[in-house]
Amino acid sequence: MTSTPDTAAAADSGGFDAHAIQEKWQRRWAEADPFRAGGDDDTRPRKYVLAMFPYPSGDLHMGHAENYLYSDIVARFWRHRGHNVLNPIGWDSFGLPAENAAIKRGADPREWTYENIAQQRASLHQYGVSFDWSRVLRTSDPEYYRWNQWLFQRLHERGLAYRKESAVNWCPNDQTVLANEQVVDGRCERCGAEVVKKKLTQWYFRITQYADRLLDDLNQLEGFWPHKVLQMQRNWIGRSTGADIDFAIEGHPSPVTVFSTRPDTLHGATFFVVAPDSDLAAELAAGASAEVRTRFQDYLERVQKTSEIDRQTADRAKTGVFLERYAINPINGERLPIWAADYVLADYGHGAVMAVPAHDQRDLDFARAFDLPVRVVVDTTAPVTGAIPVIELDDDGVPIEPEGADLATIDPASTGVALTGEGRMVNSGSLDGLSKRNAIARVIEELEATGRGRAAKTYRLRDWLISRQRFWGTPIPMVHTDDGRIVPVPDDQLPVQLPTVQGLDLTPKGSSPLGAATEWVTTTDPETGEPARRDPDTMDTFVDSSWYFLRFLSPNDAAEAFSAREADKWGPVDFYIGGVEHAILHLLYARFITKALFDMGLVEFTEPFSSLINQGMVILGGAKMSKSKGNLVLFQEELNLHGADTLRVALAFAGPVEDDKDWDDVSTTGAAKFLARALRVAADVTSAPEVVWAEGDAALRRVTHRLWQDAPTLVEQTKFNVVVARLMELVNATRKVIDSGAGAADPAVREAAEATALILDLFAPHTAEEMWATLGYQPFVGLAPWRQPDATLLVEESVTAVVQIDGKVRGTLTVPARISSDELEALARGDERIVRSLAGREITRAVVRAPKVVSFSTR
Ligand code: ANZ
């Protein structure tokens, strides 16, 4: 053995050489490759188990230790249950960290990236994870990103990839565009710099076309994904239903549409608001007086420096500029003054609102600040019962004004509180007396009849901005011709490979560094052969991870992105695990791309991940670990110190999967002692004298079989810590029998030791293999089937029940002490001896006193 365990590890492991065992079995696994997924000739049912693949930004950390442990537990479990398991690993290896590190060191991002991958790969090997190592992929390999480009072309053909100019989120520090999702509290998610708006022409994926499906299909994941994640996705998509209403604007050529969730309140509109940073505001202001134009310009400049979050903050003092223009209410012809105010956002709905101060708090705050009229149109004191209200009509068929409403007492103009509740319509012409729901339907009907409005939905979801002005990503496979056409690079010319980094300045400048790679950028139009320039931008790395789970199915295929046949066999992923930080973006994008591929006929499922688990974080002393705080627990260090199995057991035992685990509370010492005890049990069994016992220790057998009974459910419920606790209980119970009269020769001890090895494999696979070999079995325990519990041993306490027929005892039954009378009677009626004793006579009466007596009367 070449290993030299340090003293801490030797002390930890209670005398056995954890490192030696670990190296021995890792070598055997490397030789025999037992965890490779089976091919077509493998008839076992399939399971696709996947942990989110890592960024190769530095060494793996304790979060990874958890993530890959949990997925490995599940993968190993399904193999023991007779499944053909796919458990692959790869690297999400494009992106800013590599590029920034390269800039800092004046090096090629490739070097840094592939060095880190080698290091992480070695750690995962050392951790004993049962990956299928034949399927490793790296998204920064041309063999991978070529298929990102292929995907881009397929989306482009369908109008799902397009270019447009728009105000984008710009990180002045990273000098790159950020997706809305990457802006957190107005700051860059990565570097924390304050994000500003900048107008740029960018590539987008039209994810909004899938908004309804992305939302509706969440229902089918209920119960399989964390509820919190489903809710976050729902909020992110943010569907609102209501109406689009067209308002004519005096002196403006075309009507302006607003989106409202409350078209029922149309009669209560008293002014009109446009987003100051919208094109419409600029157009309207242009026609105003010089004084207003100046005021508007000043205001606009201020607004552009305000974050979207701040603009939406409810308790902020309202600001705005009257534009000296008027909109016409389509339902009653009233003139509504038009204001520019920053609480209306340019890119939500249509960037303009009809303001109904009586029933919308933001509008009310604004009206009170600028002394604008407030008109109540919903009497919220009037009762509305049930979903379908009863409307009383007078003799002429006109709804009767609800009685008892004293609107003065609820006047929002004086109370400052908008009336947002249910009620009956007032001051609303033909709508008076209707409930909100009916009024909405009626208004939409009326607007549709006159062509001035229609039912509409609006989403918070925006199209996915995918272009980045950075080097270390997938080049966008398009060329720009001199005459302004944008032409796709044909499939047979893919991949468009990244150039070498030599001579390129990667420091962010606001445009892609690839633009300066003259030789690379200069190309020809694939259609005409005329000179053209390559698109210098690269793709958001979320594109790479939006379909990687499909590439794992045929990772070395040079002819296609993934095999539809394999996708059919393996997909969708059965068990997906990762951090909650990916609850929105990555999952939403993967769901979108899966649906797009479904529509192309390339996959037969519409959701990529059938079940999802978010593991908690590993924290230290109650605080999040971070480099800057200097409170990092380093995975590789822990691995060297304790060995893989000790670390794995300690982590698995530390608490429920979803909970955060404080490293201060994680006991590697306890884990190591437990493993040493387990190994000693196996050794004791084999060194015990050969004595054949008719029956083993009943209590120990019960512990073993109850674990066989419960373990599958516990693992499927991801209650891994409970399984470890039960294993500890089993090892203790075994030790007790060994140390008592019967000793290690008791067959119950061997039975328990074998169970321990088979179940321990999920958590401490090296120790389990060692136990299995010690017990005389051939490797690998990782492939050995789990056992069925013996039902008779699951009975906690049994008693003898007496069965009488016509007052005479005709038999006895051994039954659980807590059997019900019904069950006991059924057992008695079915018992062979009793049936024989009855000899065909009919039972007329049964008196059952569970669990002791069943008494039948017959005739
Ligand atoms: C009139 C009205 C009356 C409204 C009322 C609400 C209550 P959600 O539910 O978030 O989708 N709105 C529309 N576009 C807007 C924009 N670009 N910026 C800010 N606010 C905007 O919100 C929809 C409501 O938000 C719309 O319905 C509109 O105000 C406002 F008693 O129209 B409502």
What is the per-residue pLDDT across 689-716, written as a single tens digit (0 to 9) for each? Answer: 766 655 788 899 999 999 999 999 999 9
Measured from the Cα of 350, ligand 1's closest atom is: 17
Q: What pLDDT shows up at residue 632?
A: 87
Counting ligand 1 atoms within 8 A of each CB, the residue from 353, 359, 419 with the most, and so the one to mutate, is 353
- Name which residue sits closest to atom 10 of ligand 1, judged by CA: 240
Between the CA of 213 and the centroid of ligand 1 the distance, in Å, is 23
Name the band, by pLDDT with cuts 50, 70 and 90, for residue 157.
very high
In three-state form (DSSP H/G/I as H, E/B as E, the rest C), the secondary structure along 690-724 is CCCCCCCCHHHHHHHHHHHHHHHHHHHCCCHHHHH
Q: What pLDDT shows up at residue 803?
A: 95
What is the secondary structure of 561-594 as a DSSP string? SS-HHHHHHHPSBSEEEEEGGGTTHHHHHHHHHH
Entry pTM:
0.85
Chain mean position to CA 203: 25
Measured from the Cα of 348, ligand 1's closest atom is: 17
Between the CA of 198 and the centroid of ligand 1 the distance, in Å, is 26
Query: Within 6 Å (CB) of ligand 1, which residues are found?
Result: 240, 259-262, 265, 275, 344-345, 348-349, 351, 353-354, 356, 359-360, 458
pLDDT greater than 80 at residue 180: no
The CA-atom distances, in angstroms, between 460 and each of 215, 241, 581, 775 are 12, 12, 20, 61
Measured from the Cα of 358, ligand 1's closest atom is: 31
- Name which residue sits closest to atom 22 of ligand 1, judged by CA: 261
Residue 337 one-letter amino acid: P
Give me the chain's average pLDDT, please: 91
DSSP state of 339: E
Mean pLDDT, range 246-254, rounded to an integer:
95
- Closest Cα partner for 224 from 468, 576, 531, 562? 576
Q: Strand pairing partners for 171?
A: 176
- Closest Cα partner for 246 from 326, 329, 162? 329
Cβ-contact 319, 342 below 8 angstroms:
yes
Cβ-contact 58, 116 below 8 angstroms:
yes
Mean pLDDT, range 197-218, rounded to an integer:
94
Between the CA of 300 and the centroid of ligand 1 the distance, in Å, is 21
- Least confident span in 146-150, 209-213, 392-396, 402-406: 402-406
Name the band, by pLDDT with cuts 50, 70 and 90, for residue 194.
confident
- Closest Cα partner for 541 from 182, 107, 159? 182
d(CA 822, CA 835): 17
Counting ligand 1 atoms within 8 A of each CB, the residue from 261, 310, 347, 361 with the most, and so the one to mutate, is 261
Cβ-contact 508, 471 below 8 angstroms:
no
- Long-range pairs for 434-437: beta carbons < 8 A, 24 or more residues apart: 434/264, 434/389, 434/391, 434/399, 435/384, 435/389, 436/262, 436/264, 436/378, 436/384, 437/387
Between the CA of 353 and the centroid of ligand 1 the distance, in Å, is 6
d(CA 47, CA 132): 13
The CA-atom distances, in angstroms, between 168 and each of 146, 164, 171, 178, 465 are 27, 11, 10, 7, 9
Q: What pLDDT shows up at residue 383?
A: 66
Q: What pLDDT shows up at residue 417?
A: 93
Measured from the Cα of 347, ligand 1's closest atom is: 17
- The residues, any chain, with a CB within 8 Å of residue 193's CB and separated by 6 or more, are 171, 172, 173, 174, 187
- Name which residue sits closest to atom 20 of ligand 1, judged by CA: 344
3-state class (DSSP) for residue 541: helix
Between the CA of 375 and the centroid of ligand 1 the distance, in Å, is 17
- Closest Cα partner for 382 from 439, 315, 297? 439
Beta strands in 286-423 (DSSP E): 321-328, 335-340, 352-355, 378-379
Name the band, by pLDDT with cuts 50, 70 and 90, for residue 603.
very high
Token duo for residue 417? 């509180």
Name the band, by pLDDT with cuts 50, 70 and 90, for residue 223.
very high
Q: What pLDDT shows up at residue 817?
A: 80
Name the band, by pLDDT with cuts 50, 70 and 90, for residue 586.
very high
- Name which residue sits closest to atom 9 of ligand 1, judged by CA: 240
Between the CA of 358 and the centroid of ligand 1 the distance, in Å, is 13
Query: Pairing relation of β-strands 321-328 and 335-340?
Result: antiparallel
pLDDT in tens, 122-150: 999 999 999 999 999 999 999 999 999 99
Residue 427 one-letter amino acid: N
Mean pLDDT, range 358-372, rounded to an integer:
97
DSSP state of 857: E
Measured from the Cα of 359, ligand 1's closest atom is: 31
Between the CA of 264 and the centroid of ligand 1 the distance, in Å, is 12
Measured from the Cα of 356, ligand 1's closest atom is: 3
- Name which residue sits closest to atom 32 of ligand 1, judged by CA: 260
Q: What pLDDT shows up at residue 187?
A: 84
d(CA 656, CA 736): 29
- Least confident span in 357-361, 575-579, 625-629: 625-629
d(CA 767, CA 773): 10
Q: Could you check whether the bond before residue 499 is cis, i.e. omega within 30 degrees of 0?
A: no
Q: What pLDDT shows up at residue 506?
A: 87
Token duo for residue 617? 């974080």
d(CA 238, CA 455): 17
Identify which has the larger pLDDT, 617 or 507.
617
- Name which residue sits closest to atom 14 of ligand 1, judged by CA: 349
Between the CA of 497 and the centroid of ligand 1 the distance, in Å, is 47
Q: What pLDDT shows up at residue 349?
A: 93
Between the CA of 52 and the centroid of ligand 1 the distance, in Å, is 38
Between the CA of 632 and the centroid of ligand 1 the distance, in Å, is 46
Chain mean position to CA 297: 43
Between the CA of 456 and the centroid of ligand 1 the distance, in Å, is 13
d(CA 212, CA 336): 34
- Least confident span in 305-314, 521-530, 601-610, 639-648: 305-314
DSSP state of 831: -
DSSP state of 731: H
Cβ-contact 729, 674 below 8 angstroms:
no
Q: What pLDDT shows up at residue 343?
A: 96
Counting ligand 1 atoms within 8 A of each CB, the residue from 241, 245, 262 with the most, and so the one to mutate, is 262
d(CA 583, CA 232): 7
CA end-to-end span of the chain: 80
Cβ-contact 204, 463 below 8 angstroms:
yes
Identify which has the larger pLDDT, 769 or 815.
769
Centre a 10 Å sphere on the Cβ of residue 294 and count the other Cβ atoms it contains: 13
Between the CA of 585 and the centroid of ligand 1 the distance, in Å, is 25
Q: What pLDDT shows up at residue 58?
A: 85
d(CA 540, CA 94): 9
Q: What pLDDT shows up at residue 6?
A: 41
Token duo for residue 843? 């039972």
Between the CA of 263 and the centroid of ligand 1 the distance, in Å, is 10
- Name which residue sits closest to atom 18 of ligand 1, judged by CA: 344
Cβ-contact 35, 131 below 8 angstroms:
yes
Q: Strand pairing partners for 328?
A: 248, 335
Between the CA of 356 and the centroid of ligand 1 the distance, in Å, is 9
Token duo for residue 781? 């325990």
- Name which residue sits closest to atom 28 of ligand 1, judged by CA: 260
Token duo for residue 735? 């030790």
- Name which residue sits closest to atom 33 of ligand 1, judged by CA: 260
Cβ-contact 312, 345 below 8 angstroms:
yes
Measured from the Cα of 349, ligand 1's closest atom is: 14
Q: What pLDDT shows up at residue 307?
A: 74
Query: Pairing relation of β-strands 843-849 and 464-465?
Result: unpaired
Cβ-contact 671, 653 below 8 angstroms:
yes
